[in-house]
Amino acid sequence: MAEDLLIVKGSKTDQYKTLLPQVKSLIETEPDLIANLANIAGALKEQFSWLWVGFYLVKKEELVLGPFQGPVACTRIKKGQGVCGTSWAKATTLIVADVEKFPGHIACSSLSRSEIVVPVIRNADVVAVLDADSENLDAFDETDKQYLEEIVGWIHFDS
């Protein structure tokens, strides 16, 4: 079955508004977690052409690399380490306008200039984080936070 995304140009809000229903329909009838994380990463990469976008999954006391699009990345991140580990520890979305100014930032790619990390919270626990990296400074804002938090809210983690 063909799964073509409709990609639009325009404001960031317009891009998310076109993308979100497509992501929802891709994942709502599919129970497999890895398939859904992979398609979310693929859809976001296709629409926004970020340097890197993907998931880290909480496994025991670490974040472990999950489905992603972009250059190879570090596989394990400890709680409180880097932007991802800090987002996990604080259970909150972090927007980093300039990664060089974030103490402890983990540079998986030297091309990354700004980053957003959105925790996936289920039953009050962080079970994963969605991480996106851009080659541009200050690429992420409250609009990304709003729509990416909406997307991660749709992921079924109990299957």
Considering the complex, state which of residue 8 and residue 137 has its C-beta at the smaller distance from ligand SME: 137
Q: How far is the CB of 4 from ligand SME (least distance, A)?
A: 27
Write the burial class of residue 109 (CB in 10 Å: 0-12 exposed, 13-18 middle, 19+ buried).
middle
Which residues partner with 130 through β-bridges? Answer: 55, 118
3-state secondary structure 75-120: CEEECCCHHHHHHHHHCCCEEECCHHHCCCCCCCCCCCCEEEEEEE
Q: How far is the CB of 158 from ligand SME (least distance, A)?
A: 26
Q: Closest-CB residue for ligand SME?
A: 82
Considering the complex, state which of residue 13 and residue 49 has its C-beta at the smaller distance from ligand SME: 49
Q: How far is the CB of 89 from ligand SME (least distance, A)?
A: 11
Q: How far is the CB of 46 from ligand SME (least distance, A)?
A: 18
Considering the complex, state which of residue 27 and residue 108 has its C-beta at the smaller distance from ligand SME: 108
Buried b or exposed e, range 40-52, using 16+ CB within 10 angstroms: bbbbbbebbebbb
Considering the complex, state which of residue 39 and residue 87 has its C-beta at the smaller distance from ligand SME: 87
Q: Which chain residues interact with ligand SME by CB under 6 A?
A: 52, 73-74, 77, 82-85, 105-106, 108, 112, 115, 131, 133
Give the number of residues written for the chain.
Answer: 159
